[in-house]
Structure 1
Amino acid sequence: MLKLKKLQKEQANKPVSQSVPVAYIRAKKDLQEYEEIPGISIKYDEANPMRIDLEVCPNEGLYQGGKFKFVCEVPEDYPNRAPEFKCLQKIYHPNIDLEGHVCLNILRNDWKPTLTLQLVFAGILHLFLQPNANDPLNKDAANDLSKYPAQFKRHVLNAMAGGYVGDEKFDKVVDYPDRRYL
């Protein structure tokens, strides 16, 4: 009986182990199963898969040659709620506003818990390959894309080089001088 009480006392003094949140487990699983996508690179701390740094480098289209940096925050109720992405640079894009918020259907209305981080990464890359003027966050860029494609192209290239579009100064996202950015 004395041994039993001693054992119970020892157990009572041990810290209660906390369960690992489902979101953490799912995010870690998504990242472990990630298959490389050309034009996408990710970085994250294995101890914290809830924050992911994403770099998008399109290899074709108007945004080719740019390096676009995003941070992905995985919410505590993932996969029931979509991850949140923010572009860290000010860019000229119809689906990304000047504060870096991203408009992608699978991050809003079309989100389903069966979708993975990999699929969302691919969706963000797709925004650079095929910008969508029909679902804009930057209405000026969307208007240019749909009504004035040549002007849109000039604005994209100028903005990527760190220039101005109207009164807005954009962040330089190209690493090399290229005459098409002049």
Structure 2
Amino acid sequence: MPRLRRSRGKMLKRPMGLPLLRSKVLENYVFIKVTIRPDEGYYLGGIFVFSFQVSPIYPHEAPKVKCKTKVYHPNIDLEGNVCLNILREDWKPVLNINTIIYGLIHLFTEPNYDDPLNHDAAAVLRDNPKLFEANVRRAMSGGYNGRP
């Protein structure tokens, strides 16, 4: 997986507080954990951990990405599944781990209510951004998860 090693080397040098926490290889899969700390927007001050499962056929298959931190977000469901088009139909072998990380950062700075996994959060963001912001703040302090 020389391509993955090159991507990993670039991740370690990148700014924006996104350290590579650890990686390991198990049965030809590489597991990577990345922490994202948004520096603007609704999620400012939050710390969000993601796991990447990279298959042996990477870059011909997108990594599987899960959010390990409970978050109230239109594009991340309560099980940690992430709705990011480059992880699905828009994946191309020229993309890499850094592209996914930048896509995740973008989800936190510009949540997308048009392509949601959490439909309730998307509706609140679309219809009442102030309430959405309050829900995000409560969720980040452990007081709200989007369920009634």
TM-score, scaled relative to structure 1 = 0.74
1:148 pairs with 2:128: yes
Tell me the SS of whatever aligns to 1:78. Answer: coil
Aligned twin of 2:19:
41
What is the aligned residue count?
Answer: 144
Go from structure 1 to structure 2 and tell me whether the alpha carbon gap of 1:44 and 1:147 turns closer, same or farther (over 3 Å shift): same
Give distance in 1, aligned partners of 2:96 and 2:16.
17
- In the TM superposition, residue 166 of structure 1 has moved relative to its aligned partner by 5.5
Give distance in 2, aligned partners of 1:155 and 1:104.
22
Q: Which one of 132, 136, 139 corresponds to residue 112 of structure 2?
A: 132
Give distance in 2, aligned partners of 1:167 and 1:44.
32
| Letter of the 2:126 counterpart | S
Task: Confirm or deny: 8 A CA contact 2:75 2:112 kept in the other structure.
Answer: yes
Give distance in 2, aligned partners of 1:29 and 1:164.
39
Give distance in 2, aligned partners of 1:128 and 1:115.
20
1:71 pairs with 2:83: no
Unaligned regions of 5+ residues in structure 2, if any?
none
Aligned twin of 2:33:
53
Give distance in 2, aligned partners of 1:119 and 1:166.
29
Give distance in 2, aligned partners of 1:166 and 1:120.
25
Task: Confirm or deny: 8 A CA contact 1:95 1:135 kept in the other structure.
Answer: yes
1:121-177 CA-partner distances (Å, limit 9, x unpaired): 111111001100011000000000111111111101110100025546xxxxxxxxx
Q: Larger C-alpha radius of gyration, 1 or 2?
A: 1
Q: Which one of 121, 127, 135 corresponds to residue 101 of structure 2?
A: 121
Unaligned regions of 5+ residues in structure 1, if any?
1-23, 169-182
Go from structure 1 to structure 2 and tell me whether the alpha carbon gap of 1:118 and 1:148 turns closer, same or farther (over 3 Å shift): same
Q: Percent identity?
A: 44
TM-score, scaled relative to structure 2 = 0.90
Aligned twin of 2:141:
161
Give distance in 1, aligned partners of 2:15 and 2:92.
21
